[in-house]
Structure 1
Amino acid sequence: MILHTTEEGQGTAIVLLHSGGMTGDSEYEEQSSYLAERGYRVIRPDLRGHGKSVGPFDQFFNRTVEDLKETVLHLGIEKCHVAGVSIGGVAAVLFAKRYPELVVSATFSGISPTMGEDYSERLQEEQAHYETLFKDEEISRILTELHTDNDWKALLTSFNTSDFYPYEQLKSVASMETPIFCIMGDELLHEVEAAAEFKRLQPAMQLVILPSAGHLVHRDQPELYSLLIEKFIREI
């Protein structure tokens, strides 16, 4: 499926992949402007089930990787850099792993190759968070407008199933030859531990832990995130 995209700038292509429940147009705005001003063609897709990309979201990551391939080729891009946060970070890694001929580098944030000891507790907290969102009329209105013809409540609920997250597939970073960059925040212990595990699996990868940043590091430290990702890409 060819994904709906938002584009800005011209030059070397970089694909920025949003977190769950957001869209290409509503996330990475600061980074898009920053990179476009520096000679990059910035592509921000709506992942399937999000925004204007309507489609089934079972087997989410497998379908998303194929969506990204079709979208990149449809846009006439021979090679691109890809970066993502949360589910977008998972998609970035899996896309780079499956189609290395299309990817120059992959940057990811807010993901993990292991469940961690507090997995069940975090799953329960996430479910409680979603239930709060569903009851909030103003947030529900905004998300309904954001996701047009998609069932965003069913989408978010699907993220919280026990078999949704592809932990074993993310361990494939150990065999990746594509340059990879992990940017994590320091506020969530399980994500700091995940960053260390990624580094153990792939010692050649670059790793940065940003201060005063949580799961969405690009929002918590937008200027620093932009500087780091552009520096990483420029030095490849």
Structure 2
Amino acid sequence: MILNTHITGDGEPLILIHSGGMTGLTEYQEQSEYFSVRNFKVIRPDLRGHGKSPGELDHYFNRCVQDLSDTLESLNVEQCHIAGVSIGGIAALMFAKAHPGKVKSLSFSGVLPSVPVNWTELSNEEAASYDQLFDNQEAVTFLNDIHGDNDWKATLQSFTAEDFYPFDETGDVSSLKTPTLCVVGDQQELEVSAALTYKQLNQNINISVIPFSGHLVHREQPDLYSEVLHTFIKNI
């Protein structure tokens, strides 16, 4: 399936993939501005079930990998840099593993390589946060607007399914040869630990811990994130 995309700038293709519940247009705005004036063609897709991209939600990340491949082919993009956060980071990682020849560099944040000991508790907290979100009329109005005909509530709820998180994929990076950067915020202890684990699993994975930020590091420290990502790409 070809995803709805938002494109700015011209130059080396850089794919930026949003987090769950957002869209290509509502996320990575600062990074789009930063890179589009630095000889990059910034491509921000709406993942399936988000924005203006429809699609079934089962086998979510495998479908996302195929969607990204179809989308790049439709845009005549043979190679790209790719970065993503949270579910977008998982999609970026799995795409790089499935299509290493198409990826010049990979960057991800908010991704875990193994099941945390308190995973059930974390999943329950996430489900509760969605329930609160569904009762927030201002947020509901905003999400209705950005997701159009998509059932964004069903999409978010699917993220709490027991087998949703593909730990078998996110933890299997020992053979990853694509230049890779794992970016985390210092306020997310679990994700800082995850970054160190990724380094242990594959010494070729670079890690960056950005201060005064959490799960959505690109949004909480957009300037630092952009500079770190740009430095990483330039040094490949």
Calculate the TM-score normalised by the size of structure 1.
0.99
Structure 2 residue identity aligned to 1:155: T
Q: Could you say what secondary structure the match of 1:7 adopts?
A: strand
**In 2: Cα distance, 1:118 partner to 1:205 partner:** 26
**Residue correspondence of structure 1 range 119-198 to structure 2 within 5 A:** 119-198=119-198
**Residue correspondence of structure 1 range 43-54 to structure 2 within 5 A:** 43-54=43-54
Contact 1:19 1:85 (8 Å CA) reproduced: yes
Structure 2 residue identity aligned to 1:211: P
Aligned partner of 1:217 in structure 2 is: 217
Deviation at 1:23, TM superposition (A): 0.1
Aligned partner of 1:14 in structure 2 is: 14
Aligned partner of 2:109 in structure 1 is: 109
Structure 1 residue identity aligned to 2:95: F
Q: Structure 1: give runs of 5+ residues left out of the alignment.
A: none
Aligned partner of 1:234 in structure 2 is: 234
Deviation at 1:71, TM superposition (A): 0.3
Identity of aligned residues (%): 49
Question: Is the counterpart of residue 60 in structure 1 residue 52 in structure 2?
Answer: no
Instruction: Give the number of equivalent residue pairs.
Output: 236
Deviation at 1:6, TM superposition (A): 0.2
Q: Structure 2: give runs of 5+ residues left out of the alignment.
A: none
**In 2: Cα distance, 1:172 partner to 1:65 partner:** 16
Structure 2 residue identity aligned to 1:84: G
**In 1: Cα distance, 2:67 partner to 2:5 partner:** 12
Deviation at 1:162, TM superposition (A): 1.2
After superposition, the C-alpha distances for 1:156-189 in whole angstroms (9 at most, x for unaligned) are: 0000111000011112221111110000011121
**In 1: Cα distance, 2:190 partner to 2:119 partner:** 9
Contact 1:97 1:172 (8 Å CA) reproduced: no
Structure 2 residue identity aligned to 1:68: L
Question: Is the counterpart of residue 34 in structure 1 residue 30 in structure 2?
Answer: no
Question: Is the counterpart of residue 199 in structure 1 residue 199 in structure 2?
Answer: yes
After superposition, the C-alpha distances for 1:178-204 in whole angstroms (9 at most, x for unaligned) are: 110000011121111111111111111
**In 2: Cα distance, 1:118 partner to 1:195 partner:** 18
**In 2: Cα distance, 1:234 partner to 1:212 partner:** 25
Root-mean-square deviation over aligned CA pairs:
0.6
After superposition, the C-alpha distances for 1:47-105 in whole angstroms (9 at most, x for unaligned) are: 00000001111111000000000001110111000000000000010000000111111
Give the ranges of 4+ consecutive aligned residues of structure 1 lying more than 2 Å apart after TM superposition: none
Q: Could you say what secondary structure the match of 1:175 adopts?
A: coil
Q: Could you say what secondary structure the match of 1:173 adopts?
A: coil
Contact 1:182 1:208 (8 Å CA) reproduced: yes
Structure 1 residue identity aligned to 2:229: I
**In 2: Cα distance, 1:58 partner to 1:150 partner:** 15
Contact 2:177 2:204 (8 Å CA) reproduced: no
